Each structure stands twice: as structure tokens, then as C-alpha cells.
Amino acid sequence: MLQILNEAGGLVAPLPSELGEDELISLYRLMVETRLSDEKLLNLQRQGRLPAYYQVSGQEAQVGAAVALAPTDWVFTAYRELGVWIARGMPSDAHMGLWKGVPDDTEAWDVQRFHVTRLNATIGTHLPHAVGHGYARRFADRVAGDEIPGPDGVDMVIFGDGATSENDFHAAMNCAGVWKTPTIFLCQNNQVAQSTPIAKQTGAETLADKAIGYGMPGIRVDGMDPLAVYQAVRQARQRALDGNGPTFIEMETYRFAPHSTYDGTPVYRGRDEEAAWRARDPLVRMRAFLESKGLWSQEEQAAIGEEVNANLEATVTRVENRPVVGRDYSPRHLFEKLPKLIVDQLWAEEDDLGLPRSTFSKDDLWNIDAESQVAGATERLDLTQALNRTLDRAFKNDPRLITLGEDVGLEGGVFRVTEGMQQTFGQDRILDTPLSETGIVGTAVGMAMAGLRPIAEIEFAGFVYPTFDQIVGHVARIRWRYRSEMTCPMVIRLPIGTAIDSLEFHCDSPEAYFVHAPGLTVVYPSGPYDAAGLLAAAIESNDPVLFFEPINLYRGLTEEVPVVDYTIPIGRARVRRHGDDVTLVTYGSMVHRCDAAAELLAAEGISSEVIDLRTLYPWDQDTVLSSIEKTGRLVTVHEANLTNGFGAEVLATVVEKAAYHLESPPVRVGHLDNFWGPTQLEPHSAISPERIASAARRAMKG
């Protein structure tokens, strides 16, 4: 274990040569400020002025890690990194406001200035972001402007021992090892994850032992020794800058306090254990060293205490007197432009509460343009060809684009959508990843945070579940979390649907899960023409887009697609067939089943209007409601399970906003609440034109 200062503050190894007297004193002052700030925050919580707080007491040697970095480096933090935040120069308003739970002061926590990410509440899920951010550094020399972090920096991600049990830890370490990213993994092993001791987290002798399996060195360091922590990080940083890839550092430390202020008195450790670790207190150790060198005195200790306390008192006053924000504060930061759906919801809340309606300028709102006809020559393409051509052209026009996923490179994806692109754009832009959905999407989040515009592919939509936390917890939230100071412009491509004669998970329809998550745009085209125009729009979007691609239409359907580049407005439905008697609302491959059903109904004298939603969020309510005013009857159709499927949202909206136009109860067509049967069982689940026509007849009868 690397150690420079022993428990008594004596040198047991040479001091880092670049640390002079002023640097040593500054490091200690930062540690004192951390301890005093920690105590202040705890007192505020005990007074009922903070909802909760996670103490850092005992782990102040983390300051050494922050001091070892350069301003060009980024730090990805979880929540127990108060000393790192302070050492990076962040004002006390930042951490005080965070724990106070008041609206963010973006000047205090200026992520682009301090290069420190915000609180990450889900354990370990931020690790892949640091890897993706580090991967983006190799693009700095080819992207105009300074938005991509340069190759002269590294990315350090800090986490606790409990995070090493999470799948995100494996995904991040594995990707970093394969890609040789300039990443420092700093594990604060404080011996217990909430109440679970390290012996129940791993069967390895040390956490550092895990590193060798990922092709990187694992370093153990005395985490109560700030100088040893400094040196370990400094050496790892130089190793990364030299092109030798990532390093895992196990910082063996101890938190003197419970997991959090709601944890109570720890019952999972004894007094003898606590006493032994308190004898290794990093502040006591560092102060003893400075005093032995004549660099610190009692007077200076008292002076810094008074200085920090005065600053914290002033900070509390400022933070507690921040102006109260309105109900519109939070939704304003969800998308670049606010969808009409959210504005209507907000106004309905304000009306119900008797509050004045929030006001929005035209520039605040997501105004969905009318779709224009694309003139000129066309070529007949299937869905894979249309998508491939769109991707190819976009990559030629925008050097920030990168696509990543399993088999997307050499093989061109299992459906050949990216075929030939690796030969054109290179292996670093058409990136074959390890088999890890969490790694694919998690690293893409970091790439997007760094200024790239990644397009992640999941081989089948049914394989998306392992990365659900990354999508809902980060992809959807980055803009909202950073109040638009940082965004996540990325596309996730998801092949979806049935009639492919395959096995379980290969034909799942999980789209409704993601429509329910705030911050995501969800697109689901039904053919080559729409897919090309919508994918082009998704790539241009400054917000994250989930792009579902019907597998059974990849090769089985061709359409005339304009030769020129074009986009289709996201959020605009298409009336594929006009009718007067019943409205069929659908999307994806079910559009063509509804077309066939409409033909069956036409033979019976029933006139059907078929609406292809194309976008599920934000969806085109106006087109559907206008149709209901005309027909008075509604049938929704989708492949997904019936309960809480997207058809339920359409039906609820129609009943809420157009009930008096309905002449009969609406009818839903979907898969029964069961898993799609594999291969020979699949026909039992298929939604046929005859079944849709039967549902329409029920709607006609009322």
C-alpha cells in the first residue's frame, strides 16, 4: 500500500517533488475547510434546515486527488466528494445549495468552468460517463471549436466500494481497458456500503485486484494520507497522458459518520474499530507533519476556523434567501424547446390551483413545423438502405457524429444498417463495442456530455433492459439536471417488433416504458421514406431521441425516397388514408396492417381514416382529435402489451378532450398481457388485419 505520511505525521517515503511549502499548506487548508464545511452542513440538517446530508468526515484525503489534477481535467463525482468540490475552487454556494435543495445557481456550480459533474444518486452509474468523456478527447483535433475536451487532460471518476458491485462498474472498466481511455478510477473504499461491509462486497483480497482483469494497473493507497493519494493520482494522470490508458486506485479510507443523516447510529461496526481508524485521522496526520516542519501553528489553526465559519454563515444566508421559483422553473429545462403537451399539463395544474398561468415566449416553445413535400428525383429503397444512406450523409457533414454498438463496425450491424461505414469513417467513429448494453449507452452519455453526438445501437429493443437506468436516469435527465448548461444530444437506435420468426426478447415492444420517462423524444417510423426523414431530424436534434425501427420492414418494404437530403418534423403525425366512419391510430409496422384492415372494411362500406403517429413523444394530439371530430369512433392499434400501452394514452386523451364527439366507446387492439411467444408460438400473438377490422366493426356498433 502506497504511503508517504504515517499515522503520526512522519515521512516514510519521499515527498512529491512538485509540492513545496506553499502547496503543502494550501492542501491542508483545503482539508480543514472540508471538515468544517462538513460539520456545518451536518448541524444545518440537525436543525431541520437541510433535508438530508451525506458526511465526508474521515475522507478528507480526497483533497489530494483533486489537487493532483490540472484545470483541463474533468471530475465525475457521486455525492461524498465535498473535499474535491472545494479543492476544485467551487464556491460554498454550490454545495450548500445542493444539499439545501434550492434551485441551482449555475454560476456557483458552473460545470464548464470547474469541470466537475453534479451529484449522481444511482450508485456507480456515472462511471461509464467518464470513460465516454475520455474517449471523446481523441476527437479534439478534428472537430472545429473548443467544445470537445482536448487530449491534454484526463477524466477522474470517484465512487465508493459499493459501486464495484454494480454492472456499470464492470461496463466502465471493461470499455476503458479495451479503448485505453485516459481515465482514473478512484475508489473511496470506506469499508462499508451503507451497512454492508467490504467482505460482503467482494471475494477478492483487495478491490485493486479487480483491475488486472480489465487490463489496467490496480493501485492501493493509504486513503487517510493526502500526500499518498496525491502521488497515486498524479502518477495515474501522467500514465494516461502518455497514452498508456486507465488506472484503478483503491483509496483505503474510513467514514467516521453514518452513511447519511437518516442512517442513525451505525450498528454494523464497533467502538474499537472506530477508535482505530480515528487514530489515523488525515487532518491530525497532516497537521502534525506541518507543525514538525514549522509550517503551521495554533494561531493559524484558529484563524482558518474563524475564516471558514464566517464564510459558511454568509453562504447559508445567501442560499436561504434565494428567490422562490415558479412551477414553470423545472419544465423549462427539460427540452431545448418545451412541447405543447407539457405546457398544457402545467396550465391545467395552475388552473386547478387558482394560480396565474405561466407565460412562455414563442422561442420557449417546441413549434412543430408543417411537413413540406420534397421535390426532385427519388430512388426506391428498403428501410435498411434508407437508414444507411441517411447515416452516411450525416457522418460526412458532421465530424462530431459517432456510432457505437455491438457488431456495428466490421459486420455493419446484424441488420446491415451501418454496412460499409467503418471502411469510410474509420474504427474510432464506427465503434465496435464490448457486448454490454450498459457500456454502449453509458459511454455514449459521456461522449454527448463532451460535445460529440453519438448514435448508439442496441441490437434488438428487447435487449435494452440492462441499460434502462442509463436511459431514464441519465440520457433523459442530463439537460434538466444541468439546467441546460450541459446537454445529451444522442440517438439510440432500437430494432423492434415481430413477424421475424425469432426467440424471446427479440420481438419485445418496450416503447411505452420510454414514453413515460420525461426528457426523451420517442420516434417510431413505418417505412423507408419516413425513417430517412425522421432519422435526419433525430440526428440534428439537441435532445436525446429513441429511434425504433420495425424489424419486419427492414427488407420487406420498399418506397420511393428523395435523392436530396430532407427532414420530417418530429411530432407530426401523418394521415395515410382519409375516411369518415372510424379512426385507426397506430404506428410502426401496424400501419400497414391497418391499411390492409381499411381495405377489408371498405368492401363492407366502412370508411376508415388511418393515422400513423410516427412520433410517440411528443405525439400529435391535434391530428388525432381533428379526426375524431369527423369520425366519432376510435381504434388504437399497437404490438405492445395492451395494459398501459401507448394506445391507452391516445384513448385517455381523446376521452378527456373530445368525449362529446365520440359516438361509441373507443376500442384498443394490442398484445395480451403476456410475453411474445418464440418462433412457432408467434402467430398466436400476431395482430392481423382481420383482427383490426373486427375491432373497427365493434366501434361501429357502439
Q: How far apart, in whole angstroms, are the C-alpha atoms of residue 643 and residue 513?
A: 12
Buried b (16+ CB within 10 A) or exposed e, 480-503: bbbbbbbbbbbbbbbbbbbbbebe
Establish whether the linkage from the previous residue to 258 is cis, with ω within 30° of 0. Answer: no
Beta-strand pair 521-523/453-457: unpaired
Shortest CA distance to 41 belongs to which of 91, 100, 88? 100
Q: How far apart, in whole angstroms, are the C-alpha atoms of residue 217 and residue 214?
A: 9
- Name the active-site residue from 129, 506, 592, 671: 506
In this structure, are residues 531 and 539 in contact, taking their beta carbons and an 8 Å threshold? no
Angle at 688 between CA 682 and CA 694, to 5 degrees: 135
In this structure, are residues 586 and 689 in contact, taking their beta carbons and an 8 Å threshold? no
Q: How far apart, in whole angstroms, are the C-alpha atoms of residue 367 and residue 426?
A: 37
Please tell me what DSSP assigns to residue 168: H
In this structure, are residues 615 and 522 in contact, taking their beta carbons and an 8 Å threshold? yes
Q: How far apart, in whole angstroms, are the C-alpha atoms of residue 496 and residue 460?
A: 6
Report which secondary-structure segment, H or E, holds 640.
strand 634-641
Task: Please identify which residue in the block is written with the cell numbers 427488407.
Answer: 555
Beta-strand pair 183-189/155-160: parallel
- Residue ranges of alpha helices (H) inside 19-156 are 21-46, 62-67, 82-87, 92-100, 111-114, 127-136
In this structure, are residues 128 and 446 in contact, taking their beta carbons and an 8 Å threshold? yes
Report the first-to-last Cα separation within the chain, whole angstroms. Answer: 77
User: Quick one: cell of 604?
Assistant: 363492407
Q: How far apart, in whole angstroms, are the C-alpha atoms of residue 58 and residue 518?
A: 38
Is 126 considered catalytic here? no
Which phi and psi (to 5°) does residue 369 adopt? -65, 155
Three-state DSSP class for 492? Answer: strand
Q: How far apart, in whole angstroms, are the C-alpha atoms of residue 341 and residue 349?
A: 13
User: Quick one: cell of 62?
Assistant: 480526497
Radius of gyration of the chain (CA): 29
Sign of the dihedral defined by the CA atoms of residues 260, 480, 165, 160, in that order: negative
Q: Could you count the other beta carbons within 10 Å of the beta carbon of residue 397?
A: 10
Active site residues: 506
